[in-house]
Copies of this chain bind each other. A is one copy, B any other.
Amino acid sequence: MTSNQFWRLNHHPQGTDFAGALSLESETLAPLAQGQVRVATHWLSMDAGTRMWMGPRTDGYQPPLPLGTAMVGLVLGRVSESRDPAFPEGALVRGFGQWAEVATMDPALSGLTVLDDTVADPRAHFGELGMNAWTAYVGVKEVAAAKPGEWLVVSAAAGATGSLVCQVARNLGVRVIGMAGGPEKCRYLTEELGAEIAIDYKAEDVAARLAAVPGGVHAYFDNVGGPLLDAVLPNMAHYGRVAVCGLVAGYNSDEPLPGPARFDQVLMRRLRIEGFFIPDFLHRGAEFMPVLREWMDAGKLKVRFDETVGIENVLVGYDRMLSGKNIGKAIVKVAR
């Protein structure tokens, strides 16, 4: 295959105008350089964190991608051509690569990993065994340090990471309060994900619901920041922990989110707030995977996929994820 379609970042998006910023382009692939690997993309992962890579803000995890180059995200597929013997042709792999039919990667820079090909549905590597699952596991167990019997609140609870946070916490004996928008998502939380309490933040007084939690909230897994964080902080138990996994409420703005209105509670309640980022934990996969796999095989970790089909529809899938239209993990099926 020498022709390839990919999404090019032409401009920094204004707010959510992604169609004005990215375009689907065709290219002819150059010969593969020594050490590189080509991956036929089966699925692309739609992740809120990638919004920052589009710019224009320069104070994110990393600088924005250069304008005029391909947009990048997590890719799941099979090696189609390889000049690195560690990634043989046909191997099921995952790594950071172009939003493209064929992603050309430098294994060391892209975190390219050969995956377990024995799972029934390879999408599990974007789901029960994927980065969102690792994030949920580390965030609940270590950063939020939630203990059995404690209350953990999670925002964006019906999303990719949130839905895994609910199940991981439940599996660890933690009592889960999920916050999501709308009755359908809230039913999903209590009926399928093990949340004891679901709060519809679009319809309910979140602070009042949290104020009624007996003993207060011990741990908060935050994916969004903004007003929900404001509602949680004054309702935390003393010595509570906040794991900051995402601040989606601010990703489409050119300005940083305002700080939490009740930051004073950090002192008054002796809280701990900690940001984390799963690429910092990639070396610990061998520790996380057996736990996640065991839960998956036992039916205690289940991911719903919100699948958009076709490389031409990537921005549809991206919008579904970023605007919260999805339930579960938003992905785009690229391979035809």
Q: Contact check: which of B246, B250, B267, B270 meets A247 at CB < 8 Å?
A: B267
Q: Is the CB of B271 within 8 A of A275?
A: yes
Closest 8 CB pairs of A and B: A259-B259, A259-B263, A267-B275, A259-B260, A266-B275, A272-B274, A256-B264, A273-B273
Residues on B with beta carbons closer than 8 Å to the beta carbon of A257: 263-264
8 A Cβ contacts from A254-284 to B: 256-277, 280
**5 more A-B residue pairs beyond the given contacts A60-B268, A270-B280, with a C-beta to C-beta distance below 8 A:** A59-B264, A59-B265, A244-B266, A257-B263, A266-B274
| Consensus secondary structure, chain A interface | loop
How many interface residues does A have (CB within 8 Å)? Answer: 33
Contact flags (1/0) for A169-183 with B, using CB distance below 8 Å? Answer: 000000000000000
Q: Does A194 contact B (CB under 8 A)?
A: no
Residues on B with beta carbons closer than 8 Å to the beta carbon of A59: 234, 264-265, 268
Q: How far is the CB of A125 from chain B (nearest CB, A)?
A: 25
* Interchain CA distance A267-B249 in the complex, whole Å: 13
5 CB-based A-B contacts, threshold 8 Å: A225-B264, A244-B266, A257-B263, A258-B263, A270-B276
* Interchain CA distance A245-B272 in the complex, whole Å: 12
Residues on B with beta carbons closer than 8 Å to the beta carbon of A273: 266, 272-274
Q: Could you say which of A225, A267, A271 has the most chain B C-beta atoms within 10 Å of its C-beta?
A: A267
